[in-house]
């Protein structure tokens, strides 16, 4: 299955030609099932937040939805990527006045890696030495500057498939490509996304569902000791759903079944819009 692209609604042969030099943009990575995006409203909401934060014009939802439908309608299982980027600029860091961001919509094959198949293999994590810098203005949004994640990803060695990232104070923030959720003494904990990290759509979905289903999820500072003392640990990501972690480095978690609440969330992550 080939990858297809639209740039501002027009088919594109070479990819990324308009991506700019400074990472001035936003992206979303979205699971496609039966030709339609999953957790679509959550992805739109985060994109909208990102546009407000970076000073981009508000996205035209009907246009974007039509483009997604055009690219993905025949794909039972695929990965949709949306990139909003200011494109090439000849004026250094100053954005050219009145230029609307380029809108890339790409549809990729679903990854072959066993991690992305069902049933999922057990997931091992590793603690990354690369730490996240503090920048509240950019925390939460999925902007195109991901160099910290790239450095952290280089550290990860099998059997680990994902890394835990700390902030400069040594507190747990997230994974290199996921958010973390701890289960301890009957409640869930997830680190607040305030100074760094991405506010993942699955994380937000868990927070919203918890309110509806009478579950407690605290957004609370998580130390490494707390991570290790958890009864269970999960990672959250749009393409992975909810995955249970068997170990972080040498620390192995007790083997407990995934709570029904999270099993349902996992399934709901792959219901097409």
Ligand X SMILES: Cc1ncc(COP(=O)(O)O)c(C=O)c1O
Which residue's CB is nearer to ligand X, number 8 or number 209? 209
Candidates 86, 102, 149, 171: give the one binding ligand X (CB under 6 A).
Answer: 149
| Strand partners for 38 | 272
Establish if 162 lies at the interface with ligand X (CB under 6 A). no
Establish if 200 lies at the interface with ligand X (CB under 6 A). yes
Nearest one of 160, 137, 163 to 148, comparing CA atoms: 163
For ligand X, the nearest residue by Cβ is 200
Measured CA to CA, the distance from residue 113 to residue 136 in angstroms comes to 34
Q: Where are the beta strands (DSSP E) in the chain?
A: 4-7, 10-11, 25-33, 36-37, 77-85, 102-109, 123-127, 160-166, 172-175, 179-184, 187-190, 217-219, 232-237, 241-248, 251-252
Span interacting with ligand X, options 65-73, 133-141, 174-182, 220-228, rule CB under 6 A: 174-182
Report whether 202 contacts 39 (CB < 8 A).
yes
Span interacting with ligand X, options 47-55, 64-72, 121-129, 175-183, rule CB under 6 A: 175-183
Write out 167-234 in H/E/C secondary structure: ECCCCEEEECCCEEEEEECCEEEECCCCCCCECCHHHHHHHHHHHHCCCCEEECCECHHHHHHCCEEE
Classify residue 94 by its DSSP letter: S
Span interacting with ligand X, options 181-189, 215-223, 236-244, 250-258, rule CB under 6 A: 236-244
Candidates 123, 164, 201, 232: give the one binding ligand X (CB under 6 A).
Answer: 201
Which residue's CB is nearer to ligand X, number 95 or number 139? 139
Classify residue 62 by its DSSP letter: H
Establish if 236 lies at the interface with ligand X (CB under 6 A). yes
Establish if 238 lies at the interface with ligand X (CB under 6 A). yes
Establish if 106 lies at the interface with ligand X (CB under 6 A). no
Measured CA to CA, the distance from residue 221 to residue 7 in angstroms comes to 40
Minimum Å gap between C-beta 109 and ligand X is 17
Establish if 177 lies at the interface with ligand X (CB under 6 A). yes
Establish if 196 lies at the interface with ligand X (CB under 6 A). no
Candidates 102, 106, 179, 190: give the one binding ligand X (CB under 6 A).
Answer: 179
Candidates 125, 141, 198, 230: give the one binding ligand X (CB under 6 A).
Answer: 198
Measured CA to CA, the distance from residue 211 to residue 267 in angstroms comes to 18
Count the site residues for ligand X by CB under 6 A: 14
Interacting residues with ligand X (CB under 6 A): 29, 149, 174, 177-179, 198, 200-203, 236-238
């Amino acid at each position: 299955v080939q990858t297809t692209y639209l740039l501002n609604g027009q088919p594109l042969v070479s990819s990324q030609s308009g991506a700019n030099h400074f990472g001035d943009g936003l992206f979303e990575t979205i699971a496609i099932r039966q030709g339609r995006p999953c957790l679509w409203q959550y992805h739109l909401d985060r994109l909208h937040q990102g546009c407000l934060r970076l000073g981009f014009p508000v996205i035209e939802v009907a246009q974007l939805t039509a483009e997604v439908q055009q690219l993905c309608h025949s794909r039972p299982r695929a990965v949709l990527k949306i990139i909003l980027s200011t494109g090439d600029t000849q004026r250094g860091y100053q954005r050219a006045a009145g230029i609307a961001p380029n809108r890339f919509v790409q549809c990729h094959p679903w990854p072959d890696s066993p991690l992305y198949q069902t049933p999922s293999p057990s997931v091992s994590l590793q603690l990354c030495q690369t730490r996240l810098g503090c920048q509240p203005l950019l925390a939460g949004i999925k902007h195109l500057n991901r160099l910290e994640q790239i450095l952290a990803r280089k550290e990860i060695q099998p059997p680990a498939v994902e890394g835990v990232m700390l902030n400069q104070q040594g507190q747990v923030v997230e994974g290199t490509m996921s958010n973390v959720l701890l289960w301890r003494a009957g409640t869930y904990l997830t680190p607040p996304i305030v100074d760094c990290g991405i506010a993942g759509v699955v994380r937000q979905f868990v927070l919203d569902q918890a309110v509806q289903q009478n579950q407690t999820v605290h957004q609370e500072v998580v130390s490494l000791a707390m991570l290790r003392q958890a009864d269970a640990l999960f990672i959250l990501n749009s393409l992975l759903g909810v995955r249970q972690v068997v170990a972080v480095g040498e620390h192995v978690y007790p083997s407990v079944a995934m709570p029904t609440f999270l099993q349902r969330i996992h399934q709901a992550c792959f219901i097409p819009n």
